[in-house]
Amino acid sequence: MNRVAISRSDDTRLGIGLIVGAVLLMTLADALVKLASANFSLWQLYVTRGLFALPILIGIMRWRGMALWPVAPG
């Protein structure tokens, strides 16, 4: 098997950056839910979250070259 040599410092920096980014996004989402929950019901928060997340997920799928719909074999 061929293995690609990757610098350990690059992996560490990338990992730290991803963890910090994820924690920042979770903290921001939590604060926004607490702020909005006084004015919206639970289902409205779920629908709003989905409406924001869907375009982002579709953009990531297109960027990575993934199909939006399953392709039939053959």
Q: What share of the chain is helix, strand, coil (3-state, %, to 5)?
A: 70, 0, 30
- Please state the rounded mean pLDDT for residues 33-52: 87
Angle at 11 between CA 21 and CA 1, to 5 degrees: 135
1-13: pLDDT as tens digits = 556 555 555 688 8
Of 7-11, 20-24, 36-40, the range with the lowest mean pLDDT is: 7-11
Q: How confident is the model at residue 65 (pLDDT cuts 50, 70, 90)?
A: confident
- Please state the rounded mean pLDDT for residues 27-39: 88
Evaluate if residue 36 carries a pLDDT over 60. yes
Domain ranges of the chain: 8-63
